[in-house]
Chains A and B, each alone.
Chain A
Amino acid sequence: MAAKSEINVKLIIKFTGILVMMLSGFMLLSLPWSVYYGETHTISSVLISAGITLVSGLAGVLATRRHDHRNIGKKEGYLIVTVAYLSISFFGALPFFISGAIPVFSDAFFEATSGIATTGATILIEIEALSKGLLFWRSMTHWLGGMGIIVLTLAILPILGVGGMQLFVAEVPGTTPSRLHPRITQTAKRLWGIYVGLTLVQTALLMLGGMDFFHSLNHAFSTVATGGFSTQNDSIAGYSSYIQYVIVLFMILGATSFSLHYYVLKGQFGKILHNEEFGFFLKLMGIFTLLFFLALLLSQQAGVESTFRKSLFQVVSIVTTTGFVTTDYMEWSGYLWFFLFLLMFTGGCIGSTAGGLKMIRILVLVKNSRLEFRRLLHPMAVIPVRVNKKTIPPDIIHNFLAFFLAYMLLFMAGSAVMTMFGLDFASAIGATAATLGNVGPAIAHVGPVDSYAGIPHGAKWVLSVFMILGRLEIFTVLLLLSPSFYRK
């Protein structure tokens, strides 16, 4: 009998094995497309990839089959999630690599990580050259990463019992699972139910706008997951204004806390109106859209509606950390794209599919800064921060601030590493901010109309890690680097 606090490696192998087997199943879903479009080469490479993935997962599960998986501790929870995301990125890269569509493995890994972390940064220059089956797999990685493949596993495999809670907390930070239902499996089902619902509705709305089923489904996957992979080289720029507005709407919905969607289904509209985070989220996007709209209207000779649409689309796309593009914003005046760069840090609401710092943290920290002045004047007074009329405990504020600091430290360290790989100042800073925030397109040489193809391979691996850091909200991953984690 092992000591209680010792890390249970077998448990981690077992659960990662289950997830990898799930992944191989999803890989097969791109086969019908390849069959329909007659892509024999893709069919064989997807089959080989799915085979390797299935066998690897099965080996992990069989090797640890006698192990009881019901008592996942906190440490195991965090380890499983990080190991799982790394493994999924690895196996997810296989279809790209084996088919030869992305001949270099570090590129394929970057693309798969960018998918699963819902970043949307691509190393592809000719996206339309990819076969339909591979394009579908590329969008599918987004969709699995968005609400979380682990949460999905919790929803459809009821084998996990109590331990599931630890995994849930590690994969979807910020959602208190008990908010939707006291039982973890039920919560996971509800979240994925809403997620699937949103995806289907968006697909239908896109098809109404004249997009075919394949492209509608792909874009719906990318939008609801706030990912940003498109099936087109010029992202969303070539589509009609109706389609652009539909995508704007669903980017916002994807970046909205999923508990709010649940309240809508329950008819509890009051909770939405009084949700300060959601209000702050809408206000922020509204203010910046207006600013961009006015600035562009004065500086460019374009129609009022198209200028408004461009401003709205770009602001929403960056704030929700989706990263779709309808215009090359690097051609705007410097301060305008600098604002977009700043917005790469904000992120959507907590408990959504968006990345970044998240609205609630920024809201609480701005409020706290204001109160810090009052504390300066009245050192002995206890002045609480209130959100939604509830007092935020000092521990939470402290944690949010520490998160902000860790985010900034990582951002600086990442930028420094990027300059070591020879990137220029703006590209280094942009690439780090856009991958850590799971946005995708950044500024300068990794701007909206460029790709990450020209970056050195070493840098691609670092950025892949940054995407996973961003997706799992930093502390989850950093925890594994701290020596105290492995002490008994």
Chain B
Amino acid sequence: MHQHRHIQWRLIGKLLGMLFMMLAGVSFTMHYFLIKRQFKQLLGNEELKFYFLIILTCTLILTISILTLDHYGLEQAFRESMFQVVAITTTTGFVTTNYLQWPGQSWFLLFILMFTGGCIGSTGGGIKMIRIWVLIKNTRLEIQRLVHPMAVIPLKLDGKVIPQNVTTNFLAFVFLYVLLVFTGAAVMMGYGLDFASAAGASIATIGNIGPAIGSVGPVENYAHIPTGGKWFLSFFMLLGRLELFTVLLLLSPSFWKR
């Protein structure tokens, strides 16, 4: 009986945890609109829709991919998938199960989600939903520009035109992000980590997530990484938290020039 109640509480705790992670991954401006009862602002927000779309799609894919594991029922598979997708997408990093024991394609999906991050203006790290959404839209336009090179096709978000220098800035951000992830992985391999762990450690620290894959997976920790590597990863966490440019600016010579 006691045991049963305990499990019930754990379930409620997980659901609550999931809910608040999801809320924390939403732009805080949206919470303000919610309090102000400006629901139209919420419904019309493309980033918010994209955020929930990603979470739902990935949860569904993950549920299907782990459903065949013998000890999971449909409900449990869904719950574990959703918890893990939300925890990674919002860059929280809580863990309810060792996802590395899932099939390779299942945790690879989580690995990709480590890049995304929550909405802009939230507490999440990562590349951020708005950048990804704008850039996906931009890729579509860029393809259209092949056929109509002279046409000016504006990129619209929430009904407003996004100027080209903003998309260029977003793209430059992603370029830098990917470059840094690669660099971080190279440095970690230099410290003797294997391929998956090095890539995982690099992406999980710059994305402010925490648990990664390989030897720095969900049931492992970063204790075994050499001290130099820990300093490096700490720097990476700051880089990610301050959205790259702020920190890297200090390293750029033009900042110190008067």
Contacting pair A338 B112 (CB below 8 A): no
Per DSSP, chain B at the interface is helix
Interface membership of B194, Cβ < 8 A: yes
Residue of A nearest to B245 (CB): A376
B258 to chain A: closest CB distance in Å? Answer: 11
Rounded to whole angstroms, the CA-CA distance of A368 and B167 in the bound complex is 13
- CB-CB under 8 A from B112, the residues of chain A are 412, 416
Residue in A342, A415, A443, A485 whose CB lies within 8 Å of B108: A415
Q: Which residues of the partner chain A approach B213 to less than 8 Å between Cβ atoms?
A: 425
- On whether A372 and B147 interact (CB within 8 A), knowing A334-B189, A398-B164, the answer reads no
Are the C-beta atoms of B195 and A482 separated by less than 8 Å? no
Secondary structure of the A contact surface, majority rule: helix
State whether B167 touches A475 (Cβ < 8 A).
no
Which residues of chain A come closer than 8 Å to B23, judged between CB atoms? none
Whether the pair B147, A405 counts as a contact (CB closer than 8 A) is no
A416 touches B105 (CB 8 A): yes
A428 close to B175 (CB less than 8 A): no
CB-defined contacts of B175 to chain A, threshold 8 Å: 365, 369, 401, 404-405
A29 contacts the other chain (CB 8 A): no
Q: Does A339 contact B (CB under 8 A)?
A: yes
A215 within 8 A of B: no
Known contacts A335-B190, A376-B249, A419-B105, A78 near B146 by CB under 8 Å = yes
B171 and chain A: residue at smallest CB distance = A401
A422 within 8 A of B: yes
The answer to whether A74 has its CB under 8 Å from any CB of chain B is yes
Q: 0/1 per residue, A448-488, Cβ < 8 Å to B?
A: 00000000000000000000000000011011001011000
Is the pair B167, A334 in contact by a Cβ cutoff of 8 Å? no
Closest to B179 in A: A369
Scoring A342, A365, A375, A398 by chain B CB atoms within 10 A of each residue's CB, the highest score goes to A398
Residues of B within 8 A of A398 (CB): 142, 164, 167-168, 171
Chain B count of residues within 8 A CB distance of the other chain: 48
Residue of A nearest to B115 (CB): A412
A residues 308-338 near B (Cβ < 8 Å) are 334-335, 338
Known: A334-B189, A335-B186. A479 touches B249 (CB 8 A): no
Bound CA–CA A375/B138 (angstroms): 21
B53 at interface by CB-CB < 8 Å: no
B104 contacts A409, C-beta separation under 8 Å: no
On whether the beta carbons of A419 and B171 are closer than 8 Å, the reply is no
Asked if B109 is at the interface (CB within 8 A of a chain A CB), the reply is yes
Q: Report B201-258 residues with CB < 8 Å from chain A CB.
A: 213-214, 245, 248-249, 252, 254-255
Residues in B with CB closer than 8 Å to A485 are 143, 147
* A377 is an interface residue with CB less than 8 A from chain B: yes
- Given known A-B contacts A398-B164, A404-B171, A416-B112, A422 and B190 have beta carbons under 8 A apart: no
Q: State whether A74 touches B139 (Cβ < 8 A).
A: no
Q: What residues of A have a CB within 8 angstroms of the CB of B189 in the complex? A: 334-335, 338
> For window 141-181 of chain B, which residues contact chain A by CB distance below 8 Å?
142-147, 164-165, 167-169, 171-172, 174-176, 178-179
Q: What are the residues of chain A within 8 A of B105 when measuring CB–CB? A: 416, 419-420
How far does the alpha carbon of A339 sit from the alpha carbon of B142 in the complex, in Å? 31
- Asked, given contacts A339-B186, A369-B176, A372-B172, whether A479 binds B143 with beta carbons under 8 Å apart, the answer is yes
Quote the shortest CB–CB distance from B60 to chain A (angstroms). 15
| Min distance, Cβ B150 to any Cβ of chain A, angstroms | 11
Distance of A415 Cα from B185 Cα, bound (Å): 17
Pick from B192, B214, B254: contact of A334, CB below 8 A. Answer: B192
CB-contact partner of B198 in A338, A377, A405, A412, under 8 A? A338
| A482 in contact with B176 (CB, 8 Å) | no
Q: Are A338 and B252 closer than 8 Å at their CB atoms?
A: no
CB contacts (< 8 Å) of A212 on chain B: these are none
Assuming A342-B182, A373-B255, A425-B104, what are 18 further A-B pairs, CB within 8 angstroms?
A74-B147, A338-B189, A372-B245, A373-B252, A373-B254, A376-B249, A397-B168, A401-B171, A404-B171, A405-B175, A408-B178, A415-B108, A416-B108, A420-B105, A428-B108, A475-B143, A482-B144, A485-B143
Q: What are 10 A-B residue pairs whose CB atoms fall within 8 Å in the complex?
A: A74-B146, A75-B147, A334-B194, A369-B176, A370-B252, A373-B254, A402-B142, A402-B171, A428-B108, A482-B143
Tell me the A residues contacting B by CB distance below 8 Å. Answer: 74-75, 78, 334-335, 338-339, 342, 365, 368-370, 372-377, 394-395, 397-399, 401-406, 408-409, 412, 415-416, 419-420, 422-426, 428-429, 443-444, 475-476, 478-479, 482, 484-485
What is the interface of chain B, defined by CB distance below 8 A to chain A?
A: 104-105, 108-109, 112, 115, 135, 138-140, 142-147, 164-165, 167-169, 171-172, 174-176, 178-179, 182, 185-186, 189-190, 192-196, 198-199, 213-214, 245, 248-249, 252, 254-255
Task: For the complex of A and B, list the 4 residue pairs with the smallest distance between their C-beta atoms, beginning with the closest.
Answer: A401-B171, A335-B189, A419-B105, A402-B142
